[in-house]
Structure 1
Amino acid sequence: ALCVAISGKCYMSLATYNSSANRGACRQNCRRSYKVIDEETGVELQVNNKYIMSPKDLCTIGFIDKIIDAGVIVLKLEGRGRSPDYTRTVTACYSESVDAYLSGTYTKEKIDQWIARLEKVYNRGFWHGGYYLGKKMGEWSGAYGSQATTENIFVGQATKYYAKSAIGEFSVETKQVSVGDTLLITGPTTGAIEVPVEEMYVDEKPAMVAKKGQIFTMPIAERVRKSDKIFTVINRNPDA
């Protein structure tokens, strides 16, 4: 994420909410929409983008090669307070990009694939290149909140895991889960697991749908734990 001011030196949150960005408590009120009004005349200026203080997120995965060639040996990824799936996706993409460059397989095709994966988790739109590549002005987000191309809908939680047979048991608490869905499973120890629902069982019988209030089981290779939360991952149009 980029700040409207120098990161760590923006006092907007402190001045308006007495909540200091320097203490990790930024309220991010720069991310909201604003009107520009002349105090003397009361005239409101027309601006194309109401989010005039909300920069897009800097995306550097397209020039990791230049960063490494500059002598950088440690990368810090922005992500304080982000979800397990955000952490999993972003660290995986950047780790893969570094490995690809070091192995001589860093290509535009791979960069495009990493960007598509990064777009699925929380973001405010991407500014590719940034000042490092000579751009003189940042790009601004055109909407409030995340511009991710997918959304996670809470549907229930894990209740058991049968390690010998690699079967997970889950309770549906909202909506429903269907064969063909993609599930995101998160927990303090589990982290984040994304798995397609290829088959499922309700009352020990094959089923296509598990409705609210039902228990279902499905094969899953990675261990899940009781009370892990489960979400269905759906596509969304951030520009809609």
Structure 2
Amino acid sequence: MKRPELLAPAGDLEKLKVAVIYGADAVYLGGRHFGLRAGAGNFSEEEIAEGVRFAHEKGVRVYVTVNIFAHNSDLAKLPGYLDTVSAAGVDGVILSDPGVVELVRKLHPALPVHLSTQANTTNWAAAQFWEKLGVSRIILARELSLDEIAEIRERVGVELEIFVHGAMCVSYSGRCLLSNYFTGRDANRGDCAQSCRWRYALVEETRPGEYLPLEEDEKGAYILSSRDLCLIEHIPELAAAGINSFKIEGRMKSIHYVAGVVKAYREAMDTFFAGGAGCWNPDVWLEEIGKVSHREYTTGFLFGNPGAAGQHYNSKIYRRRYSFIGLVRGYDQQAGLAVVEQRNRFAVGDEVEILTPAGGPSKLTISAIYDEDGYSIEVAPHPQQIVKIPVHKELEAYSMLRKPIE
């Protein structure tokens, strides 16, 4: 059984480094143009080159999204951008528009083309069509069952990639018009307002201004909000289906999210491929991914249409058990102090947990905090404030501190 690639989101350069350090085999990112995540930090052309250098030094591949549905005006600017991306040494581009696919194949025939999930590949005939056009990998639509994926695998030779974790769209693999209708922001040009996450209520035609809750909740209902996808329990079945790449959604999520989810899937995949089903116990990894901010989890369409079980219907949409409070930037060996960049308020006496790239989480009671001048302080209240705290062992850079939410 071939080991799949673990593909992680990189919303900006810091998230790319976190994804690489916590175990990704590959990362995907967007430039400042032609991608579908305008709200993410995204990468300048110089940052793409820097990100590629950093990843390649660690043996990690980099794919760049160019997956808008292009308008005529986009086509004039694309060749120059593709030249820059190719020159940076990226390992592939993620496309959805057939015209852009043809353009890349013409201008940069050696650059691997990955077909975006936005292209809605849901059957083997469509997969064969794209294979004939020179696409090297197809990112399948999220609306496929495991049996459908396996049948596509049997009929095509291209690599297949699926989403295994992250946000789901209320519409068919992102083909939603709500954002454009309500706000004028075009989701298929990278500017989705996430209207599906808004709170809704019913208004009866003859009773304007009288809002009727859809459930017994005075705050309204999130009838359009999908639950988050989580397939970590089903790595054995997915690997057996012949999938080449397991993709994590989340370019707009925090570095804590990227670290926790990537690490959990890395350990789960390594454990399974090292020992097979005999040592398979996903509870420990489910516990870890339960510590990042998420909506209730679902297996999506993997075992059939999820129906009502795939949606949220009340105001308790997010699950947040921990607050990400600090990122370790370095370690003062002589003093035994970790150099921490504050991300949320913490204080002396707080009981916290340490997430590290290798090994399980550990507990720590913050016994002291020192500012950059060495003065003792009781609390770190300022965003990105640099402080030092005593720790029981040396912590490598990009370790993270998180505090349980009471």
TM over 0.5: yes
Find the counterpart in structure 2 of residue 23 from structure 1.
189
Q: CA deviation at 1:174?
A: 4.8
Q: Does 1:152 align with 2:318?
A: no
Describe the SS at the equivalent of 2:310.
coil
Q: CA deviation at 1:57?
A: 0.5
Find the counterpart in structure 2 of residue 11 from structure 1.
177
Q: Mark the CA change 1:61 to 1:183 in structure 2 (over 3 Å): closer, same or farther.
A: closer
Paired residues of 1:33 and 1:144 also in contact (CA < 8 A)? no
1:1-240, aligned counterparts within 5 Å? Answer: 1-39=167-205, 47-48=214-215, 50-106=221-277, 110-127=281-298, 129-137=299-307, 138-141=309-312, 142-143=314-315, 146-153=318-325, 161-163=331-333, 166-169=336-339, 174=345, 176-178=347-349, 180-182=351-353, 196-198=363-365, 200-201=367-368, 211-212=378-379, 216-219=388-391, 220-224=393-397, 232-236=402-406
Using structure 1 for the length normalisation, give the TM-score.
0.72
In 2: Cα distance, 1:108 partner to 1:37 partner: 54
Letter of the structure 2 residue corresponding to residue 221 of structure 1: E
Describe the SS at the equivalent of 1:53.
coil
Using structure 2 for the length normalisation, give the TM-score.
0.45
- Richer in helix (by share): 2
In 2: Cα distance, 1:174 partner to 1:231 partner: 11
Which structure carries more relative contact order (alpha carbon 8 Å, separation 6+)? Answer: 1
Q: CA deviation at 1:147?
A: 1.2
Letter of the structure 2 residue corresponding to residue 196 of structure 1: K
CA RMSD of aligned residues (A): 3.8
Q: CA deviation at 1:45?
A: 5.7
In 1: Cα distance, 2:256 partner to 2:207 partner: 49
Letter of the structure 2 residue corresponding to residue 133 of structure 1: F
Paired residues of 2:232 and 2:265 also in contact (CA < 8 A)? yes
In 2: Cα distance, 1:201 partner to 1:177 partner: 6
Q: CA deviation at 1:73?
A: 1.3
Q: Sequence identity of aligned pairs in percent?
A: 23
Letter of the structure 2 residue corresponding to residue 132 of structure 1: L
Q: CA deviation at 1:170?
A: 5.4
In 2: Cα distance, 1:160 partner to 1:26 partner: 37
Gaps in structure 2 of 5+ consecutive residues: 1-166, 371-375, 382-386
Find the counterpart in structure 1 of residue 37 from structure 2.
none
Query: Per-residue displacement from partner, 1:174-227 (whole Å, max 9, x unpaired)?
Result: 551326333579xxxx9xx97633574568xxxxx95137965313512449xx
Describe the SS at the equivalent of 1:75.
strand
In 1: Cα distance, 2:328 partner to 2:272 partner: 39
Find the counterpart in structure 1 of residue 22 from structure 2.
none
Find the counterpart in structure 2 of residue 206 from structure 1.
none
